[in-house]
């Protein structure tokens, strides 16, 4: 949903009516918070012919955009039978998915061949889609690279800055189960070297806030919790930011950002460009296959560091806190790198233009 945000806003500016479908309660909440009310959100219909037919009969769309690799067979085939133009945007075919689809090439080819065009994130993605039967495959780049810095309410940010002024702050973004323990241990390792150290943990799913609080309490560290409308206290070791849509606040509050989803396997890391756009040095674990090329480029540009495990994470954070000039230069390099990304949205819109309703 967030990857498509800029595209949705540009299409809306053309006076087009937008119906946005997604499959989770969290995404629905993000739509309600992130977009104006004229962006209509619906849960994607259960992919059976009966329900898909009712969905299409009711909404009667003029153009259908499918994002990344979200391919619903009955929805695609029924849309095609109604001569509804379809485009796959921000197309992504991972190295792990490709061999599985290649074994079912007839099936995937029957779906991909229905699209007017396939706008792929990278040359490698384009090659995989073409090999599986997609037509008119064009590399436009990754829409996620065009996502602006997440917004932050100035009054809320000022209040948080006032409460933490003079304290070193580590921000851990979008953490899944298994990573909070690593961050708690990292905090305990570093607290003796940096008095007043504050670690902000932003769980990937806010409803895990109480679970994270239980882990912190069991460790003996002190914490406050944002969902309870608490601010970081002077003696707080951990601040649990278990609210939705406020990540921009904590990217700006932190001196160093640790990207979650990268220290446990199975998730593949999250987009590091958001903290990069606000000029923060970035650390991540070894499991970043969802954005491997991006992380590799940022490491080469000295604006991101890979930490192999919790011990390495503590060591790298200590180095950056001991040498704030290096941390600042890393943040500046991150902002410069993020500033060079873009133009994906313009390329995608230019290719979509002939298919847009008048």
User: Would you state the pLDDT for residue 147?
Assistant: 74
The pLDDT assigned to 150 comes to: 87
For the stretch 99-123, pLDDT in tens is 999 999 999 999 999 999 999 998 9
User: In this predicted structure, what is the pLDDT of residue 304?
Assistant: 98
Q: Shortest CA distance to 253 belongs to which of 158, 187, 155, 147?
A: 158
The predicted structure's pLDDT at residue 33: 85
pLDDT at 339: 85
Which residues in the chain show pLDDT less than 70?
none
Within its chain, how far is the Cα of 188 from the centroid? Answer: 28
Distance of CA 141 to the CA centre of its chain: 16
Half-sphere exposure of 51 (CA within 13 A, CB side): 8
pLDDT at 69 (0 to 100)? 84
Tokens 């998915």, located at residue: 97
pTM: 0.73
Exposure string for 90-121, b = 16+ CB within 10 A, e = fewer: bbbbeeeebeebeeeeeebbebbebbbbbbbb
Query: Can you say whether residue 40 is alpha, beta or left, with left for phi > 0 and alpha for psi between -120 and 50 degrees?
Result: beta
Residue-wise over 217-236: b if at least 16 C-beta within 10 A, else e? Answer: eebebebbbbeeeeebeeeb
For residue 142, the model assigns a pLDDT of 86
């Amino acid at each position: 949903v967030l990857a498509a945000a800029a595209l949705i806003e540009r299409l809306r500016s053309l006076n087009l009516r937008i119906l946005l479908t997604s499959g989770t309660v969290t995404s629905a909440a993000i739509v309600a918070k992130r977009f104006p009310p004229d962006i209509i959100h619906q849960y994607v219909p259960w992919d059976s012919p009966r329900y898909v037919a009712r969905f299409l009969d009711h909404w009667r769309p003029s153009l259908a955009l499918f994002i990344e690799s979200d391919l619903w067979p009955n929805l695609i085939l029924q849309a095609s039978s109604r001569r509804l133009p379809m485009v796959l945007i921000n197309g992504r075919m991972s190295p792990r998915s490709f061999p599985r689809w290649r074994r079912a090439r007839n099936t995937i080819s029957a779906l991909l061949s229905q699209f007017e065009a396939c706008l792929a994130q990278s040359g490698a993605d384009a090659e995989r889609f073409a090999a599986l039967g997609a037509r008119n495959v064009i590399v436009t780049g990754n829409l996620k690279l065009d996502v602006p810095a997440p917004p932050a309410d100035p009054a809320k940010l000022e209040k948080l800055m006032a409460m933490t002024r003079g304290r070193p702050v580590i921000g851990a973004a979008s953490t899944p189960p298994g990573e909070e323990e690593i961050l708690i241990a990292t905090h305990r390792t570093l607290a003796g070297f940096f008095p007043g150290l504050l670690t902000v943990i932003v769980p990937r799913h806010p409803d895990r806030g109480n679970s994270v609080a239980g882990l912190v309490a069991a460790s003996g560290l002190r914490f406050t919790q944002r969902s309870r409308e608490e601010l970081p206290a002077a003696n707080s070791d951990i601040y649990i930011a278990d609210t939705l849509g406020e990540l921009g606040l904590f990217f700006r509050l932190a001196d160093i950002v640790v990207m979650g989803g990268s220290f446990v396997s199975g998730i593949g890391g999250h987009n590091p460009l958001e903290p990069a756009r606000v000029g923060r040095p970035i650390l991540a674990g070894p499991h970043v296959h969802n954005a491997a090329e991006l992380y590799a480029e940022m490491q080469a540009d000295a604006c991101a560091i890979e930490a192999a495990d919790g011990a390495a994470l503590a060591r790298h954070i200590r180095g950056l806190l001991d040498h704030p000039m290096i941390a600042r230069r890393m943040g500046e390099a991150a902002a410069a790198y993020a500033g060079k990304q873009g133009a994906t949205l313009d390329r995608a819109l230019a290719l979509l233009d002939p298919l847009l309703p008048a």
